């Protein structure tokens, strides 16, 4: 008796070939919302559900030891704070207000009760700062490193929600705060770690890098700007938070809104310490700003009529404008050369 077998190999696509967002698109293609209360599913900073007079927002992020953080220089309270703040930032990107969080931990046996309490010290600091309630979560064993996953809930008035897909041609592109500091801070921490490994008696020299190190270890969610939007009577036409790099996030706005973009080099907001430290590492400060990631600032578009409301704001910077898709995604240098915009931000796979 003979048994026929199919010797053809099963097709295997490496995740790195399509990247995180390609993977998300492939997964999302199989899931069409069935519940009429699901307003927005996969594809924006948060999901959106209809609660009647308001929308419920929900988002979730997972941080893995050795991938997203290194405990040789990340204090546990800072980690707890950051895990919450990065989720609050997603709620802010929808023009919403955070209300509750849950926290899930995967712990190996090298973590003590005191270590867990230190993580929750940071979680509480973030809850207090952003006025959110910790309402639950899960704790389980991890065979190796630490895993922390936070889910955040928030709300927004139905007519105030902001998506990535609302930008219009000639809308002004704005960003809050400054860019590149978190990436530069990571370079400092990695250098100090290597010097410590080579000489355990050395003391870290971080005083002159306090700002950029702080940007990496304890980023802030820009809820202050969301509150100011209300005071100024501004509703962005599109918005996203800067987690993977300015260029990458601008690409999301372009794709979702069906537009191109022009970003001006001389408009990029780079803080003095970030600029000088990047130069110390022989890294182009503009590249840090465009591709560094983890700044958690807000990138958004406004109509031309709203320019007067923000033109003198010290922490909102106009860096370009949205243009027709056919004009492409461009970067205008200080010498007025127009080059194709490249996105080389954080790659998850």
Strands 38-40 and 47-50: antiparallel
Q: What's the pLDDT at 349? A: 42
Which pair of structure tokens corresponds to residue 341?
Answer: 């915009």
Q: Counting beta carbons within 10 angstroms of the beta carbon of residue 225, is it exposed (0 to 12), middle (13 to 18) or buried (19 or more)?
A: buried
pLDDT band at 22 (very low <50, low <70, confident <90, very high): confident
Helix axes 210-217, 181-198, angle to 10 degrees: 100
- How far apart, in whole angstroms, are the C-alpha atoms of residue 265 and residue 333? 5
- How far apart, in whole angstroms, are the C-alpha atoms of residue 84 and residue 89? 9
Percent of the chain with pLDDT over 90: 81
Say whether 245 sits in a helix, a strand or coil.
Answer: coil
- Residue 271: pLDDT over 50: yes
Torsions phi, psi for 70 (to 5 deg): -125, 115
- Encode pLDDT of 199-208 as tens digits: 887 877 788 9
- Residue 1: pLDDT over 70: no
Looking at residues 298-315, what average pLDDT do you find? Answer: 97
pLDDT band at 5 (very low <50, low <70, confident <90, very high): low
**Residue of 112, 109, 137 whose CA lies nearest to 123:** 137
Q: What's the pLDDT at 30? A: 76
Question: Which residues are CB-contacts of 53 (< 8 A; sequence separation ≥ 6)?
Answer: 157, 158
- How far apart, in whole angstroms, are the C-alpha atoms of residue 300 and residue 241? 8
- Residue with the bigger pLDDT between 87 and 23: it is 87
Looking at residues 100-104, what average pLDDT do you find? Answer: 98
- pTM of this prediction? 0.91
pLDDT band at 29 (very low <50, low <70, confident <90, very high): confident
Q: What's the pLDDT at 310? A: 96
Q: What's the pLDDT at 301? A: 98
Q: Counting beta carbons within 10 angstroms of the beta carbon of residue 63, is it exposed (0 to 12), middle (13 to 18) or buried (19 or more)?
A: middle
Strands 54-64 and 147-157: antiparallel
Which pair of structure tokens corresponds to residue 47?
Answer: 């999901």
**Residue of 225, 211, 223, 212 whose CA lies nearest to 292:** 212
Looking at residues 232-258, what average pLDDT do you find? Answer: 97
Torsions phi, psi for 58 (to 5 deg): -145, 140
Looking at residues 151-168, what average pLDDT do you find? Answer: 98
């Amino acid at each position: 008796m003979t048994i026929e077998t199919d010797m053809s190999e099963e097709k295997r696509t490496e995740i790195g070939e399509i990247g995180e967002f390609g993977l998300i698109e492939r997964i999302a293609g199989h899931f069409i919302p069935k519940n009429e209360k699901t307003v927005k599913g996969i594809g924006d900073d948060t999901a959106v559900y209809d609660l009647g007079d308001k929308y419920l927002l929900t988002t979730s992020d997972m941080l893995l030891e050795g991938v997203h953080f290194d405990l040789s220089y990340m204090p546990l309270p800072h980690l707890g704070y950051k895990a919450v703040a990065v989720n609050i930032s997603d709620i802010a990107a929808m023009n919403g207000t955070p209300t509750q969080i849950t926290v899930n931990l995967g712990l190996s046996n090298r973590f003590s009760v005191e270590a867990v309490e230190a993580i929750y010290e940071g979680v509480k600091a973030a809850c207090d700062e952003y006025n959110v309630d910790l309402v639950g979560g899960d704790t389980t064993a991890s065979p190796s490193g630490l895993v922390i996953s936070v889910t955040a809930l928030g709300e927004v008035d139905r007519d105030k929600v902001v998506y990535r897909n609302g930008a219009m041609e000639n809308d002004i592109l704005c960003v809050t705060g400054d860019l590149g500091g978190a990436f530069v801070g990571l370079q400092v921490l990695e250098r100090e770690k290597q010097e410590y490994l080579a000489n355990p008696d050395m003391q870290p020299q971080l005083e002159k890098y306090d700002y950029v190190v702080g940007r990496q270890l304890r980023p802030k969610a820009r809820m202050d700007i969301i509150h100011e939007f209300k005071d100024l009577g501004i509703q962005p036409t599109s918005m996203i938070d800067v987690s993977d790099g300015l260029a990458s996030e601008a690409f999301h706005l372009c794709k979702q809104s069906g537009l191109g973009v022009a970003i001006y080099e001389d408009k990029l907001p780079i803080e003095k310490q970030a600029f000088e430290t990047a130069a110390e590492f022989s890294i182009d400060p503009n590249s840090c700003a465009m591709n560094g990631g983890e700044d958690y600032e807000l990138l958004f578009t406004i109509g031309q009529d709203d320019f007067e409301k923000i033109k003198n704001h010290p922490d909102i910077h106009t860096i370009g404008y949205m243009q027709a898709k056919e004009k492409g995604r461009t970067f205008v240098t200080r010498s007025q050369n127009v080059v194709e915009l490249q996105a080389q931000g954080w790659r998850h796979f």
